[in-house]
Amino acid sequence: MLVLRILMNRTLTAIPTLVLVSIIVFSLQQLLPGDPVLTLAGEERDPVVLDMLREKYHLNDPVIVQYGYWIGDVVQGDLGISLRTDAPVTALIIQKLPVTLELSAMSMLIALVVGVPLGILAAVRRGTIWEGLANILALSGISIPNFWLGILLIFVVAVHWRLLPASGYVPFAQDPVQAFKTLIMPSLVLASPTAAYLMRHTRSAMLEALNADYVRTAHAKGVPSAVVIWKHALRNALAPIVTLVALLFGEHIAGAVLTEQVFSIPGFGKLMVDAVFTRDYAVVQGVVLCVAVGFILFNMLADILYLVVNPRLRK
């Protein structure tokens, strides 16, 4: 019942947020330079064709009327038609989104495997060389730009060592081994800052848990240190980590733009970049709106997961 109430409250909050986002997105795309109709008309640019295209896409109408047409279609699940490919924007998003989801899932798995154990190690071995090494790795992960790390990996691993393909994408359903080879480097690039954030948050949460009274009591009763760390301290430290993972996964989907560009992965981010360069307004609007919806959904998921891992809130 509590989960349902939270979902209803978040949904009511999300509606005006989405309306505001839709207005901002539609208004900003009007500021993009150039005329998309000139691109569609080809080299000849027949005035008759130009007028026909502007009439077809309601570009002759006032901005408020254009927004009314667009938001009315969006409510019905129609995100419009791509000006460049003449394909439905919804179909393009459905085609590209799974690619980014695969990349985001693999990178998040790498970030969890690296970041959480390092955070625990830094907290348990506080004041030792292990904490210093963990902090150096975390600082490096946050500081190094994704595009530079991607180019470096391509040069060393793909070009110099010839261990992995430099670019491209193969679906897991088609060839799991080749899919892993094509996604491992971009996943490492995307996971680098996320692992650093997870390490720092895990360390802070573990230090707070290790200094709690119940941990000192467990030590005083003679409970083995491994049991205290993994059963008592880590269980309570996981609450903020779980919610952070849900939010970071949403950031992965939105933030995979540079990584997909560097490794030529035909995903969600690359679709948005290509749409911006070709002034494909409908695709830009649809992609940004989907990203906004995704962030709201992941925020809802984070709230629910926080209730699951923290029973005290359910009271």
Burial of 5 (0-12, 13-18, 19+ CB in 10 A): exposed
Confidence (pLDDT) at 39: 67
CA distance 119 to 132: 11
pTM above threshold 0.95: no
Confidence (pLDDT) at 201: 92
Confidence (pLDDT) at 43: 66
Confidence (pLDDT) at 117: 93
- String of DSSP letters for the chain: -HHHHHHHHHHHHHHHHHHHHHHHHHHHHTTSSS-HHHHHTTTT--HHHHHHHHHHTTTTS-HHHHHHHHHHHHHTT---B-TTT--BHHHHHHHHHHHHHHHHHHHHHHHHHHHHHHHHHHHHTTTSHHHHHHHHHHHHHHHS-HHHHHHHHIIIIIIIS--S-SS----TTT-HHHHHHHHHHHHHHHHHHHHHHHHHHHHHHHHHHHTSHHHHHHHHTT--HHHIIIIIIHHHHHHHHHHHHHHHHHHHHHH-HHHHHHTT--SHHHHHHHHHHTT-HHHHHHHHHHHHHHHHHHHHHHHHHHHHH-GGGG-
- Residue 241 tokens read as 């980590």
Total count of residues recorded for the chain: 315
- Residue 17 tokens read as 């947020």
CA distance 66 to 285: 13
Confidence (pLDDT) at 151: 93
Confidence (pLDDT) at 112: 94
Confidence (pLDDT) at 116: 92
Confidence (pLDDT) at 197: 93
Consecutive 10-residue runs of the chain (315 residues): their mean pLDDT? 75 85 81 70 74 80 87 88 85 92 93 93 90 90 90 93 91 90 94 93 91 85 85 81 84 82 88 82 86 84 76 61
Burial of 176 (0-12, 13-18, 19+ CB in 10 A): exposed
Q: 284 and 275 in contact (C-beta within 8 Å)?
A: yes
Confidence (pLDDT) at 33: 67
Answer CATH for 92-314 from 1.10.3720.10, 3.40.50.720, 3.10.20.30, 3.40.50.620: 1.10.3720.10
Angle between helices 2-29 and 281-309 (to 10 degrees): 160
- Residue 111 tokens read as 């970030």
Residue boundaries of the structural domains of the chain = 21-75, 92-314
Confidence (pLDDT) at 281: 80
